[in-house]
Structure formats: C-alpha cells, structure tokens
Structure 1
Amino acid sequence: MAKPMLPPDSTFPAARRVFTNRNLRLESLGAFGFDMDHTLAIYDTRQFDRLSFELALDGVLRRLDLPPEVRDVRWDPAAAVRGLVVDKKSGNLLKVDAYHHVTRARHGEKFLDKEERRDLYASGRVRLGTGRYRSFDTLFDLPEGSLYTALVARVDAVAAGRSRPDYRALSEGVRAAVDGTHADGSLKSHITADLDRFFTRDPHLVPTLQKFRDAGKKLFLLTNSEPSYTGAVMQHLVGGEPGSWVGLFDLVICSAGKPGFFVKRGDGEPIPVGQDARLPNRNGNCFLGGDSFFLEKQLGISGDGILYFGDHTYGDILRSKKSVGWRTAMIIPEVEEELQALVPLIETLRELGRVEKSLDDLVMRKDHLRTGGGDPDEIAALTALVTQGLGRRGGLQRKIKSAFNPHWESVFREGRAASRLGRQVMEFACIYTSRVSNFLNYPTDKFFARPVEILPHERGILPES
C-alpha cells in the first residue's frame, strides 16, 4: 500500500512548522529522547501558573515577615515571560537583548524610563553570571516572576519611601517558596488530583511517537519528575491500559537531576517492578537517576546519534549539546502563540518593510544633499517626507506590538534585534518548534536545512533576503 503524501512545508500553518538553525538529517539519528514537562506534556499554563502563584504566595507568607497588606496580591498572567532576568538588588524584572543590554526594566507595576535605567545600569549591560541576577529559562519560572513583581509593588507601597525594602530577601523568599511547592509535593498533588484541568491532550502525540518507532528509532523519556508523577501524567496523556504507555519507549529515566545528569555520576537505579501500576517497569527498562553515559550505554547510541527534545534552555538544550554532543530540538510553545498573532498581520509587516526601506533611501538622499551643499528647498522637502514616513512607521509598529504581551511584547525580539531568549534559541537549538507532534507533518528521513544567513551588505540582493 502506497504511503500517503505529506504536505509541503508551506501548506500547513506556520505555527506548526519546524524551524532550523543547523542542518540536521533525521535519517542519520539512531535515538530520539524527550523531556516530559512542557515537552511531551502540554500544560494549560493559565491554570498551572495561577495555582503555582497561589501556593507560592502562601509559602512566602510563612517564610517572610511581610506586612498584612501583601496577602491579597493578585496574579497577573502577563506580568512575566520567558527570558526575563530578576535584579535581586533593585527589585526589578529586566528584559535584555542578545548582548545583555537592558532594554526594559519593570519595578513593581512601573516601567523605568530611559534615564532611570541608565542611572541603575550605567554601562547598559548586566553581568548575568553574578549572584545579583536570576534568569527565567523555563515556563515554570513565570509564576515566580508574577509573584515577585506583585510583592515588590505592595511592599514599596507599604514602605512609602520611609525605608528601602530588602528586595534580595524578597526574591530569595519567593524562589524558596516556589521550590517548596515542588519539594513538598503540594503542587503536584493538586495537579494529579485534576489532570484534565492542568493538561491539554494532543491527539497527534502518540501517532508521532509511533511513527518514529516505525522508522526504527529508539525512543527514551528523560525527565526530572519522580516516577509517581511521571506515571500519572504519561498515563493521562497516552491512555490505554495502566502502564502501557511505557511500551512507546526503549528507556525511561525519572528523577534525572538535569543538568547534573550530563556529567559523570554513575548508573541509574532500577525502578521497583510493579510498585506503581502506571509505571510498572515490567521490562526492566525504567530507572531512577544515573547519567548520560549510563543512558548511552543502555541504548548503544551516543553523541550526535541522539536527538533530544526539551524546553529548558539550560537544563535540556545547552547542557545536552555542550556536555555530551547530542543534537537538540527545542520545544517552545511561544512560537505557536506568536506566529498565530503575526500571521493576520502579514500585510502590515510587509508595509512596515516597505516604509523602512523608503525611509532608508530618503535619509540617504537627504544626507547626500546636506554634505554636498544641495538645494535647501529639496532638503526641506525630503525632511518633510522623512517626518511623514516616521509617523507612518510608528503607527505600523504600534499595531504589531499590540499583538504581543502588553508589557514585554515579543519574547524573541526587542525592537529590530533578537532578545536574549531569541539569541539562545538560535545558538543552542539545532531545530525548534512549538510541540513534538509537529513532526508528524514531516518524513522521518527529513533533511532540515538551515536558511541562508544574510549579511547586511547582501540584504536585498540575495534571493532569500
């Protein structure tokens, strides 16, 4: 029976495509590995973030001596996005570009203006490796950002300028409270009690995994979640007889402890057979902990013969790439969200491109006349056209910005430049997409070719520019 024809890349929505930073030939890979949370398991982030915010607020109130006025702070789903940085000393949330220049700073409910940013960050750049800063590299960090900025606003209001709040202690208290909801099991107990509320089932997930298996790929699950939570979530997502989901994988490793998993630590410990019906380990291929060398030994495949899918910029993508040489596929739900917002604005974006090119030409002509002693009337006419063009550009830019987060706009960009997160995606991920099941749209021997990289002097000349 003939195989069905797969649609070309341009015939399915942009939000469901796979994007390429480095050439990758699926046919050359022997094993595909997957993180679970925010990779195979798609959370309903509004439900999860609200729950995490509320539980963490309770934890903060137990840990810190805060005024009673903070008890009624409210969760704002737009308060934080991935890629932001917390300045613990000043109590600010920062958005930085690819070179760590501070482009936006929010203190409580107020955004700092340019002069205020310059006063705080004199060089314009921040040194993220110091203890002053903490970056949000995963979607799990967003409730922390929302809670911190809400608490900063409230403690500032209570202090009313009489004293300076200890923003570092507040940040560390929030971080400890968020970690506490994971460590004490309270967050996961709420989730497992109502899985339908917190997860979105993807009907194409299992067919995608099965397609990889049918192509002869070895599959493994590598998650930091403990066995009981892994079993509950995977059983919910896959369905079928209790524990049958394990049959999709050649190897399952829970409590992996990434990113430490990617340095030598020793072998994993077998999960007791039959201890949990949802992760029964009937075939002896399910383990706790270990390291990447143990995993590669179990699979008989190593290095660039492995493609690993994950969502965490550092723990999944950077460390698996740099430490053990795996190829990387980053799962970024924000790609789907932002492309869905941008597609209706295609004509607006094209018009913006035309306006910017026209402005470049006008400014060049004006500069040429000014330096060459040109006709003042002609220079004045060009100046008027530039002013008109700037107004039109501003209107188009405002329309595009309104499609994104009301505080931070696109997570991948800052103006005409890439944000820190955008640059990390380009540098660390071989390929990236919004969800694992998007690979169902592609053949299993697909060669993902990176696009032509255009240098400024080639723009407008080379075909893909």
Structure 2
Amino acid sequence: RLKTAVEMTSFLSAEVHVIPPGACNLLNSSTIYANNEVNLAEVDIYGFDYDYTLALYSNALNTMIYNTARGFLIEHFKYPEGICKYDYIPNFAARGLHYDIQKGLLMKIDAFHYIQPGTVYRGLNPVPDEEVLQLYGGTYHVPLQQDSGFYGKVKGGPKVKQFMDIFSIPEMTLLAAANDFFITNDIEYDPVHLFKDVSVSEAIGMVHLKGYMYKWVMEDLDKFILRGEETDAVLHRLVSQGKKLFLITNSPFSFVDKGMTHMVGKNWRDFFDVVIVQADKPHFFTDCIKPFRRLDGNGDLRWERIQSLEKGQIYKQGNLFDFLRLTGWRGSKVLYFGDHLYSDLADLMLRHGWRTAAIVPELEQETKVVCTDRYALNLTWLQALTGLMERLQTHRDPESKQVFQEWQSEREELRVMTKNLFNPQFGSIFRTCHNPTYFSRRLCRFSDLYMTSLSCLLNYDLSYTFYPRRTPLQHEAPLWMDQLCTGCMKTPYLEEIQAESDI
C-alpha cells in the first residue's frame, strides 16, 4: 500500500499507462456508432427527414439567419441600432445548451441536471462559478420541472429552454449578443421579453415563417447545400438493393423539390415510395387529428379523401397513426434518420419501436479533436491524476495535503485545457468534465445509431450488424485498462477498524 505522497508520485511516473500510440487515429468521422444492436438485414424500409439529414447546409446559412433575425429585432421590434455592431460568431454556441430565460444565462448541463462550472455565459462573458452558485441557491443543480422538456410544454412556460437542433445555433448567438449589448451599455431590460422577441416565435421565427431561409437556399444551392452527391449515392444504393424509402419533413414541397433536384436529379421522387411535406413534426408523431392531403403537380392542395399513400404523389400534413395504417410499416424493419432527437426520433423509438438514427454533423470536428495527441495525453493524465487523488485523500499528513492541493489545481487546469480543445466557451457537445452532457444522454436514449452524415452508410454492407461496445459501469471499471492506476485499496480507517476487531 502506498503510504506517502512521495510514494504516490513515484507510483504515478512508474505506473501510468498512456493510450497506445496511434490508438486515437483509429477513430474515423465516417464511422456509424451504435447505442443499440441493429442488424441492417432486418431493415426493409428507410425513412428520412430533409433538413440536416438528406440536405446538409453550410455555416453560411447560420450567418444569414442571424443577420436577418438581428435586422428584425431593430426594424420590427425597435431594438437599438447598436446591436448591428454584433456580427455573427461562428464558434460561440454549441448544440444542446440550455438557456435560463429569467436570468438570461446560456449554459451547459450534464445528464444529471447539473450545470458544468465554467460554462455559464451572460451575454458574451462567462459568469464566475461563485456567482452561479449564488444565483441558484448554493447549488449547480437545475430541477427537472424547470426544463423545457421534449417540446417545450411546461405549465406556465419553461424557465429553462434547451436548444436541440442545429438551426438553434444562430438563435443562441443572437440571444447572447443582445444580452451583451444591454449589459455593456448599462441599459435596464427584461430578459424574459428579450427571449420572446428573439426566439422562434418572433425574430428567428420570422426568418422561417416568411420563407427567407427557403429563398436563400433555392437561389444559391451550391453555396448552401453540402455533399449532395453523397445523398444521391446513398439513395441509389438503397433502392438498387430493394429497400423502400420514404420522406417526412416539415419543409414545403417547393423547397424540397429544388434541393432534391439539385442533389439527386429531377426524377428524385422515383426513389421514394411515400413523400410527406409540411408534416408539422413533432405533432405528426403524437397527434391523430390532421388528415393527409395530396398536392397536385403544381403544388396546389387537393381535397379528396386519402385512401392510400401512392408512390410518385406528394402528401401534406397527416399523422403517424394514419401513416402506419395505410403503409403497414411497423417495428424494427423501419429505420428513420433525423437530426432532432426530440422532434424526429424520440416518439418513433419510445412509442412505435422503429429503429432510429441520429445525424450529428458535429461528430466530424469532435473526432478530429479526439484523434490529436494533445487530447490523448490530457485525458490519460487526467484519469491518472483523478485516481491518485482518490487514494491520497485519506492521508492527513501536511505533505500529503499539500500534494493533494497541487494535484487538485493541476486537475482543474487539465479539465479546462481539454474543454478548450473542442470549444473555448462550452467544450464538447457530448461531455462535461466527467459526465455525459444532457444532449449526449438523450442521444443514447433516442437513437439506435448515430453518425456524421448519411454518407456513412456507404461504408457498410446492407446486411451489416452494428454491435454496441460494452462500456464499463462504475463497479466494473477496475477491469478496464484506463483504471489500472485507480484500483480500490483499503483505507487507513478500515485497517484501524479491522485491527481493533482483531484485538
């Protein structure tokens, strides 16, 4: 047993096993990751969302959304002209963050509803951890009942809003910029009204409702749509192997038609057995009220009763219950791809037993970071240091206490360094200091598979089985290599008790 801080330090240098050289390079952003076992041989029907699933967009779209919504704040809501000085910051916000509506704070929350220290922002500036504790009554915990839930339906309205889709990134950035303007200029304001003016129901919402986003994309498809040829290749491959395909999207037909023609060709509808536009997800999956309507060749609404969903036709609205009744497509033979964990995937997995696949474009950048030697070194050292601190804490001599404090400071520095490798403000979208993020836990809960883009399917045979890796539970951890230096030892107190019992 290690008895002194000096012995601990010697042990550290002798026993810490770094990640084998090149191991991180095995990570590949074209990999499909499995949360649950999925055998593609059993999947006969492939379903897709459109935005950020079949069509991936460039960052230029976020800038356009931000600039236009900022203009609405000034022109329609009469906000100060000075907000125009705040340009879009591409790498400020990240998906999955929470926003305290009443306090005007943007933050990152882990899977256990705890705020990650160092990731709370008021405007564009971090809030000291001591102030965060004071604001939340001496704790970092955010109660579940204050959260927006799946669809923002909380009695009296949510106090904390989670931003789950990629389209929300410019919204978060505009909220931060507007807050920063009022704070910097010492102008009194109501954070709740600011949130309502900026949110999807007002300025950001106007960008979508007035069709600006659709107009921009349709006018310059090459600028805004990425990797269209890969979408084309995926659809060709699936159809050539006899798979049935369907599309359910909230976007209007004219927009989808222009984008799919650009990516796949004017006969793109031939790939799909069913096409549904303006579906109004997530209500499409939960309500059974709206009937299907057919659109004619000009995109005009027809009013006849829908008795079947026919290939080559375009349908509007509808609901999942009629969809299931008319198609008979049920259970694990259906695999649906989408980018929004709540609106696209949650109900399909939890209520209907479909297989689900999440499109997470952020994986491309995150895996690049994880593959760096700096990340591997930081993570290995951080794990080792944590294990040693766990052992050293039982020693009460002055030397041990001093070493413990030094290690504690070094551990905090490593955490910050590791976070900054992903995003200086909020770190990885998948992890806090040591826990999964709120976003990451939902990703695991609502998706069987997740991947950077649909093109990842091209790397696998359509009879391939995805097997999730067995990751250690905490009580299994000593069996794993990264825990070699953190195994359990008898504490001095336990030894004293045993010694007394032997007398």
Q: Aligned residue for 2:76?
A: 63
Q: Aligned residue for 2:487?
A: none
1:118 lines up with 2:137 in the alignment: no
Q: Aligned residue for 2:273?
A: 250
Q: Aligned residue for 2:376?
A: 349
What is the deviation of 1:69?
A: 2.2
Counterparts of 1:284 and 1:338 in 2: how far apart (Å)? 39
Rate the CA distance shift 1:433–1:93 in 2: closer, same or farther, 3 A.
same
Counterparts of 1:351 and 1:154 in 2: how far apart (Å)? 36
Rate the CA distance shift 1:391–1:115 in 2: closer, same or farther, 3 A.
closer
Paired letter, 1:254:
V
1:436 lines up with 2:450 in the alignment: no
| CA deviation vs aligned residue, 1:328-350 (integer Å, no higher than 9, x gap) | 100000111100122123x6425
Structure 2 length normalisation: TM-score? 0.80
Rate the CA distance shift 1:80–1:22 in 2: closer, same or farther, 3 A.
same
CA contact (8 A) 2:339 2:358 kept: yes
1:322 to 350, 358, 370: 350
Paired letter, 2:255:
Y
What is the deviation of 1:270?
A: 1.4
Deviates more, 1:98-107 or 1:306-315: 98-107
CA contact (8 A) 1:16 1:434 kept: yes
Q: Aligned residue for 2:206?
A: 180
1:52 lines up with 2:78 in the alignment: no
1:14 lines up with 2:1 in the alignment: no
1:153 lines up with 2:180 in the alignment: yes
Deviates more, 1:87-96 or 1:50-59: 87-96
Counterparts of 2:182 and 2:317 in 1: how far apart (Å)? 41
1:406 to 424, 444, 460: 424
Q: 3-state SS of the aligned residue for 1:264?
A: coil
Paired letter, 1:206:
D
Q: Residues 156-235 of structure 1: matches in 2 within 5 Å?
A: 156-160=183-187, 164-175=188-199, 176-235=202-261
Q: Aligned residue for 1:5?
A: none
Counterparts of 2:225 and 2:412 in 1: how far apart (Å)? 40
What is the deviation of 1:461?
A: 1.1
CA contact (8 A) 1:91 1:107 kept: yes
What is the deviation of 1:40?
A: 1.0
Task: Count residues with an aligned counterpart.
Answer: 435
State the identity as a percent: 27
What is the deviation of 1:144?
A: 0.7
The two structures, once aligned, show a CA RMSD in angstroms of: 2.6
Paired letter, 2:195:
S
Rate the CA distance shift 1:155–1:302 in 2: closer, same or farther, 3 A.
same
Paired letter, 1:339:
T
Deviates more, 1:118-127 or 1:222-231: 118-127
Q: Residues 355-394 of structure 1: matches in 2 within 5 Å?
A: 356-357=383-384, 359-361=386-388, 363-364=390-391, 366-367=392-393, 369-370=395-396, 380=399, 386=404, 393=411
What is the deviation of 1:13?
A: 5.3
Structure 1 length normalisation: TM-score? 0.86
| CA deviation vs aligned residue, 1:107-126 (integer Å, no higher than 9, x gap) | 11221111211122224322
Structure 2 unaligned blocks of 5 or more: 1-23, 149-153, 301-308, 484-503
Q: Aligned residue for 2:53?
A: 39
Rate the CA distance shift 1:398–1:11 in 2: closer, same or farther, 3 A.
closer
Counterparts of 1:362 and 1:102 in 2: how far apart (Å)? 23
1:261 lines up with 2:289 in the alignment: no
Counterparts of 1:113 and 1:394 in 2: how far apart (Å)? 15
What is the deviation of 1:232?
A: 0.9
Rate the CA distance shift 1:362–1:60 in 2: closer, same or farther, 3 A.
closer
Counterparts of 1:77 and 1:425 in 2: how far apart (Å)? 24
Q: 3-state SS of the aligned residue for 2:90?
A: coil
What is the deviation of 1:101?
A: 1.6
